[in-house]
Structure 1
């Protein structure tokens, strides 16, 4: 029995083999455009133009713009956790140092040229509807970040780890917004320093209660 794939015309096989490359170009273009200009502001025509592909190629890879937006955010989130986990790995068993190391990096990036804050936060603002694919990816990320920060606060011995974890989350979100307003001279540069003071105040309160 002949494998139908083997019998496919050469141009069809070339088109099939090109699919992953087209999808990568589309995602790369979408990431730049969505992150810097907003998801709602960018149409499919601009994405395919920047990616150098056709509109049918986009819809073969992604069923809709909403699915493309969710895929962009999933890739963004992968890089987000890679940076977070790198700080955790750098300071094994020391959640205080892990958080401060991560926040040092966040503070630097928040004030850098072209930084548009956290792409996942931006997406939640753009898509407040609970059922939207972009909203679901972003909300899940924020809930997991909150869970991790609270767990790390508990690991440091905070008497109220939920309060400390939430305070750190608020500092994180504020730094990303502040960076867009003030740039490298803004409050984002003091993110780690403020996190350190918050942590030390919380741990000091825990020791006083002991």
Structure 2
């Protein structure tokens, strides 16, 4: 099993160090998402960022540290957007469900989207004991838990079933957008989710 991330990878930068660290991190985040976690090596990150390899290793002693930090960043970004959406629909769980699906659908259809970073990572790190797989599982468990909470609040007779349907639709749209393109089945995520929600929830 890979070693746990080094504490140094999470240490706040000292003055004068933050710019180099941010450049390395932003470059890795972009390359990993566009080209794959396994396909992009440390040398490629160094070359693209223009930062010395010793600087990269000062902050991220192993490539796994860098991958895990990138996944943490992706996770935080996703849930920040989720919370921003939730704040606009306080006390309106049905409307929030639809709104969450809308922004996810827009993200999937965006020009820069290359699927779900967590599903991509799961495919590239098949060892279930790898720390990356724990990050993936945490993200997906949180997605299901939040959807379940909304389904229950909205009055679904079988909230667990509806939540699982929505998880499958979301993940299927992410994966389908890569396999069949953004104009394939992924484009009907909103309509499919709307139909499932309308069927499962009491009529308004």
Shift, 1:16, TM fit: 5.8
TM-score after normalising by structure 1: 0.85
Question: Which residue pairs with 2:92 in the alignment?
Answer: 94
Select the structure that is richer in helix.
1
1:32 paired with 2:30, answer yes
The gaps in structure 1 that reach 5 residues or longer are: 1-14
1:46 paired with 2:44, answer yes
Task: Provide the rounded CA distance (Å) in 2 between the counterparts of 1:132 and 1:60.
Answer: 23
Task: Provide the rounded CA distance (Å) in 2 between the counterparts of 1:97 and 1:16.
Answer: 44
Q: Is 183-192 or 163-172 further displaced after alignment? A: 183-192
2:175 pairs, out of 174, 177, 195, with: 177
1:167 pairs, out of 148, 165, 168, with: 165
**Stretches of 4+ moved more than 6 A in 1?**
none
CA RMSD in angstroms comes to: 1.7
- Between structure 1 and structure 2, the one with the greater Rg is 1
The gaps in structure 2 that reach 5 residues or longer are: 1-12
| 1:57-76 alignment, distance < 5 Å | 57-76=55-74
Shift, 1:18, TM fit: 2.9
3-state SS of 1:185 partner: coil
1:144 paired with 2:142, answer yes
3-state SS of 1:93 partner: coil
3-state SS of 2:40 partner: coil
Task: Provide the rounded CA distance (Å) in 1 between the counterparts of 2:129 and 2:77.
Answer: 24
Task: Provide the rounded CA distance (Å) in 1 between the counterparts of 2:49 and 2:18.
Answer: 13
1:85 pairs, out of 83, 86, 98, with: 83
Residues 182 and 130 (structure 1 numbering): CA distance in 2 closer, same or farther, change over 3 Å?
A: closer
**Number of residue pairs the alignment of both structures matches:** 191
Task: Provide the rounded CA distance (Å) in 2 between the counterparts of 1:183 and 1:99.
Answer: 25
Question: Which residue pairs with 1:119 in the alignment?
Answer: 117
Question: Which residue pairs with 2:191 in the alignment?
Answer: 193
